[in-house]
Amino acid sequence: MKYGRWIAIVSLFFAPSLFADEVACADGDADACFELGAAYDAQGNTEEASSYYTKACRAGNGWGCYNLAVTLEEEGSGLKASEFYKRACSLNITWGCTNLASAYERAEGVRQNYGYARELYERACAADDGIACDRLAAMYDRGLGVKQDTAAANEYYKKACDKGVARSCNNLGVAYNKGLGVKIDYDQAIDYYRTACNSGNAVGCSNLGALYANAEGVERDLEVSVDLYNKACGMTNQSACKSAAKIKERLEREAERKKAN
């Protein structure tokens, strides 16, 4: 999971405004250069956008460096992208730190370096970046460059969940459901699964559906379970589609038996 480009709200249709930015950019105004880059970016003119993002970055505009990095990465220039993510990060653009960390974690255009990735994620997470907290949690969960520590992973999953990262909410649900680094607590598991599900996480919906199907922490309710699996199915989770179909068949058989009696 990475961040995409950030486009400021700029005037795309008022020539006088763009002309003023042209003049200001030529005079070394970094923000004006960035606004021009964003305007051309929004119009789909990547070449002109990159030119102005470069000028903005050189003049000290972090978002210019960041958007240029995103463009370079999209073009397959991972190494160059990492250089500009690093510049953006040094200019306090947290998304730049997070994307640079991801590059080092996954060896995207750079040599894999879990230690450096962790440092960058820690910096971004401390700045309230939910995705960085989520990735940091995953590193502790899997023991990537650090000693595996489920309790620490859960702490970071909690921070990420609080920042709206749905999959972290689901992972916390799993932790409380299975007793991973915490005591089993079905109420907590249900709450986190539901939060994940309501935030668009298909696995969270499926996991909550399984609790209702298997009467874990709640009374068995196959109709609720089917609804949850169907919701996950609507998010293109094929496993959930199959589970919904099986439980629906079970409900139909039970209904037929009741009629027969």
Measuring CA to CA, which residue among 61, 6, 50, 5 is closest to residue 28?
61
Q: Taking CA 120 as the corner, what is the angle to CA 61 and CA 124, rounded to the nearest 5 degrees? A: 65
CA torsion sign for 160, 163, 165, 167 is: positive
List, for residues 55-90, the tens digit of each pLDDT value: 999 999 999 999 999 999 999 999 999 999 999 999
CB atoms inside a 10 Å sphere around CB 43: 11
As annotated, the residues of the chain forming the CATH 1.25.40.10 domain(s) are 1-107, 186-261
Q: In whole numbers, what is the pLDDT of the chain averaged over residues?
A: 93
Confidence of residue 21 (pLDDT cuts 50, 70, 90): confident
pLDDT, residue 135, reads 98
Where is average pLDDT lowest: 69-73, 162-166, 230-234, 255-259?
A: 255-259
Stated pTM of the model:
0.88
Digit-coded pLDDT (tens) for 4-20 = 776 654 444 444 467 78
pLDDT digits (tens, 9 = 90+) for 83-103: 999 999 999 999 999 999 999
pLDDT-derived band at 3, boundaries 50, 70, 90: confident
Q: Both tokens of residue 139?
A: 């590193």
Model pLDDT for residues 192-240, shown as the tens digit of each residue: 999 999 999 999 999 999 999 999 999 999 999 999 999 999 999 999 9
> Is 186-261 a CATH 2.60.40.10 domain?
no
Distance (Å, whole) CA 152 – CA 85 = 27
Domain covering 1-107 assigned CATH 1.20.1290.10 in the classification: no
pLDDT at site 146: 95
Give 88-143 pLDDT, tens digit per residue. Answer: 999 999 999 999 999 999 999 999 999 999 999 999 999 999 999 999 999 999 99
